[in-house]
Amino acid sequence: MIGGLFIYNHKGEVLISRVYRDDIGRNAVDAFRVNVIHARQQVRSPVTNIARTSFFHVKRSNIWLAAVTKQNVNAAMVFEFLYKMCDVMTAYFGKISEENIKNNFVLIYELLDEILDFGYPQNSETGALKTFITQQGIKGQTKEEQSQITSQVTGQIGWRREGIKYRRNELFLDVLESVNLLMSPQGQVLSAHVSGRVVMKSYLSGMPECKFGMNDKIVIDKQGKGAASDDAGKSSGKQSIAIDDCTFHQCVRLSKFDSERSISFIPPDGEYELMRYRTTKDIILPFRVIPLVREVGRTKLEVKVVIKSNFKPSLLAQKIEVRIPTPLNTSGVQVICMKGKAKYKASENAIVWKIKRMAGMKESQISAEIELLPTNDKKKWARPPISMNFEVPFAPSGLKVRYLKVFESKLNYSDHDVIKWVRYIGRSGIYETRC
């Protein structure tokens, strides 16, 4: 299991050092600094073995978090734990920065003591932790409160405490998708997938039982079979989407999903990520990029890029940014674009073209002339792909939320009393077209 956990600043100074196991000595702290943080070459692996000691590291802005062990630990678990650790710290004091860590080091030690025992990760749900790691001392608690805390930390529903009350029962559902695309210069889709998340903010009283439904092909087909003659079932079948795979927050009953494909759960209070999913079929690609690069002699390049929006004209895409890479030996660029603003950014070796808004089924174009310095470098320019960023108000995968039902039998509110909000946002992930 994890033998020790260190946090360093960008210079390699130790900010936090907690050792759980005897086999990890003080010299391990230095070994990591010398071999990884101060290493001359770029780090080639997130797992490093130095003198039979293994170091796992992740980096958050310029802070290094490293877990150390001498055993054959579950590597996936160690990384999951490090991410979780970052989440917990962010939930307690915001951004992970050197200053925040220094200011909160007592709290961090207290957290580390709680969520990692002898190197074994323990309950690390912020909701539960915040009930008893408060930096206030817990003198004032009654006996009932104490046992409530412990039963929550160890209980089956470790992510929610009892006795939550709201005057207004409300929930917000965000379907956040990122579309990833790799397209050949000829416009052929080399790979495309959507990775989506359903993020929920719940402000519900008591211990509500929720059921979430979406236009999952498997569910709809099943229902369609149940009511074979029902035309409505068939027409809704057309709008269903095939989900390649999905994963759920630990509140979702996985065995129920496995057997009935229904998503039922008792939600944590506040914001959390209910599920993640991935689709690869019938993706609506919101934009198409058509590049045209022509080399004119050895010192000039002509670039023309057309973007076409491909969705309902009534919808508006926002924050559109097209990034056209330029060779390293570029000396000057002239750009002409019909819409938005375009600039050559020498430090980034790219022409950045920004458009604030663009409606569906439109087209826009940029052309640029790139002057090159003559070089005797034999190596050809690698022509990195043209990448694009945008945000659209629909789910490119076609996912639709069908229902989210809330049942709370003990309290006197019903599904109808809950105010529900649903929002779809599609963003670009890695959206690249080769040129």
Partner 1 sequence: MMCDFLFSLVCTGEIFELKAELNSDKKEKKKEAVKKVIASMTVGKDVSALFPDVVNCMQTDNLELKKLVYLYLMNYAKSQPDMAIMAVNTFVKDCEDPNPLIRALAVRTMGCIRVDKITEYLCEPLRKCLKDEDPYVRKTAAVCVAKLHDINAQLVEDQGFLDTLKDLISDSNPMVVANAVAALSEIAESHPNSNLLDLNPQTINKLLTALNECTEWGQIFILDCLANYTPRDDRESQSICERVTPRLSHANSAVVLSAVKVLMKFMEMLPKDLDYYGTLLKKLAPPLVTLLSAEPELQYVALRNINLIVQRRPEILKHEMKVFFVKYNDPIYVKLEKLDIMIRLASQANIAQVLAELKEYATEVDVDFVRKAVRAIGRCAIKVEQSAERCVSTLLDLIQTKVNYVVQEAIVVIKDIFRKYPNKYESVIATLCENLDSLDEPEARAAMIWIVGEYAERIDNADELLESFLEGFHDESTQVQLQLLTAIVKLFLKKPTETQELVQQVLSLATQDSDNPDLRDRGYIYWRLLSTDPVAAKEVVLAEKPLISEETDLIEPTLLEELICHIGTLASVYHKPPSAFVEGSRGVQHKRLPGSSAAGVSEAPPAVIPSQGDLLGDLLNLDLTPPTTTGPPPPASSGMQMGAMDLLGGGLDSLVGLLNTVLSEAVSLRSSFNVPVSGGLDDLFDLGGGVGMPMGVFNPPKTVWLPAMKAKGLEISGTFVRRAGVIQMEMTLTNKAMSVMTDFAIQFNRNSFGLAPAGPLQVLTPLSPNQSIEAALPLSTVGPVMKMEPLNNLQVAVKNNIDVFYFSCQYPISMLFAEDGKMERQVFLATWKDIPNDNESQFQIKDCHLNSDAASNKLQGSNIFTIAKRTVEGQDMLYQSMKLTNGIWVLAELRVQAGNPNYTVSTVLVVLAVFKSYFSNTNQNE
Asked if 418 and 408 count as a contact pair (C-beta separation under 8 A), the reply is: no
Sole residue written with tokens 């490293």? 66
**Is residue 59 annotated as involved in ligand binding?**
no
**Is residue 341 annotated as involved in ligand binding?**
yes
User: Minimum distance from CB of 111 to partner 1 (Å)?
Assistant: 11
Sole residue written with tokens 């035309």? 231
User: Minimum distance from CB of 236 to partner 1 (Å)?
Assistant: 24
Q: Which is nearer to partner 1, 106 or 232 (CB)?
A: 106
Indicate the DSSP class of residue 380.
P
Rounded (10°) CA dihedral 151, 156, 159, 165:
-70
**Is residue 354 annotated as involved in ligand binding?**
yes
Q: Which is nearer to partner 1, 179 or 337 (CB)?
A: 179
What is the CB neighbour count within 10 angstroms for residue 109? 13
User: Minimum distance from CB of 231 to partner 1 (Å)?
Assistant: 32
Q: Which is nearer to partner 1, 26 or 312 (CB)?
A: 26
Which two three-digit tokens encode residue 29? 């702290």
**Is residue 420 annotated as involved in ligand binding?**
no
User: Minimum distance from CB of 363 to partner 1 (Å)?
Assistant: 26
* CA distance between the termini of the chain: 48
User: Minimum distance from CB of 415 to partner 1 (Å)?
Assistant: 26
| Cα angle 133-138-140, degrees, rounded to a multiple of 5 | 145
Using CA atoms, how far residue 391 sits from 28, 108, 179, 394, 428, in Å, is 45, 37, 10, 9, 7
Asked if 90 and 23 count as a contact pair (C-beta separation under 8 A), the reply is: no
Q: Which is nearer to partner 1, 137 or 297 (CB)?
A: 137
Asked if 299 and 373 count as a contact pair (C-beta separation under 8 A), the reply is: yes
Cα–Cα dist 41/21, whole Å: 30
Q: Which is nearer to partner 1, 275 or 305 (CB)?
A: 275
User: Minimum distance from CB of 53 to partner 1 (Å)?
Assistant: 9
Q: Which is nearer to partner 1, 45 or 412 (CB)?
A: 45
Residues of each annotated binding site: 341, 343, 345, 354, 356
